[in-house]
Amino acid sequence: MKAIVAVDLNWGIGCEGKLLQFIPEDMKFFKEKTIGNVVVMGRETFDSLPGKNPLKERVNIVLTRNESFKDDRLVICHSVEETLKELEKYDNDKIFIIGGETIYKQFLPYCDELYVTKVQNKKKADKFFPNIDIMNEWKQVEESEEKEYNNIKYVFSRYINND
């Protein structure tokens, strides 16, 4: 499985339930990678989606510990183990971990590839992605040229797990 994330220079990913910034090309990249596939997210990230609607044309798996949380449009899982069991139904290449912090942390050990949009600024954040640059198992294998939107500079990078 893969994870896809946008981070700032501090590995910040969110603040007060929202993304740190809006970059149209990053949204487009996220859509292109995940459409037709399976996305796995925490309940907080699901709540942050516009209108609390599932992402279209994707199987939406949402983790919650709340046994009474029901939504027919979602596949709801109550633990990492239950999610991994559910994910056995799908091709590993089609599975994308899409956050937030708690879900990235718990599923990182199961990922073999990461798409990291690196935004070249430092924003106030209360949620973070692990700093994979200090983890031996993760190696950056690709980085795009620098891009810019509204004075925000960013690059698309890809990491693979060597283990």
Ligand X SMILES: NC(=O)c1ccc[n+]([C@@H]2O[C@H](COP(=O)([O-])OP(=O)(O)OC[C@H]3O[C@@H](n4cnc5c(N)ncnc54)[C@H](OP(=O)(O)O)[C@@H]3O)[C@@H](O)[C@H]2O)c1
SS3 of 4, please?
strand
Residue whose C-alpha is closest to residue 78's, from 62, 89, 92: 62
Q: Which of 25, 28, 79, 162 binds ligand X (CB under 6 A)?
A: 79
Rounded to a whole number of angstroms, the minimum distance from the CB of residue 65 to ligand X is 4
Residue with smaller CB distance to ligand X, 67 or 136: 67
The count of residues interacting with ligand X (CB under 6 A) is 28
User: Under the criterion CB under 6 A, does residue 106 sit at the interface with ligand X?
Assistant: yes
User: Under the criterion CB under 6 A, does residue 116 sit at the interface with ligand X?
Assistant: no
Burial pattern 28-52, b for ≥16 Cβ within 10 A else e, equals ebbeeebeebbbbbbbbbbebeeee
Instruction: State the sign of the Cα–Cα–Cα–Cα dihedral 12, 13, 14, 18.
Output: positive
Q: Which of 13, 76, 87, 132 binds ligand X (CB under 6 A)?
A: 13
User: Under the criterion CB under 6 A, does residue 48 sit at the interface with ligand X?
Assistant: yes
Q: Which run of H or of E encompasses 37?
A: none
User: Under the criterion CB under 6 A, does residue 121 sit at the interface with ligand X?
Assistant: no
Residues within window 54-73 making contact with ligand X, judged by CB under 6 A = 63-66
- For residue 28, give both structure tokens: 């487009």
Spatial separation of the C-alpha atoms in residues 25 and 46, rounded to whole Å: 21
Task: Report the interface residues with ligand X, using CB under 6 A.
Answer: 5-6, 13-14, 17-19, 41-45, 48, 63-66, 78-80, 98-103, 106, 127
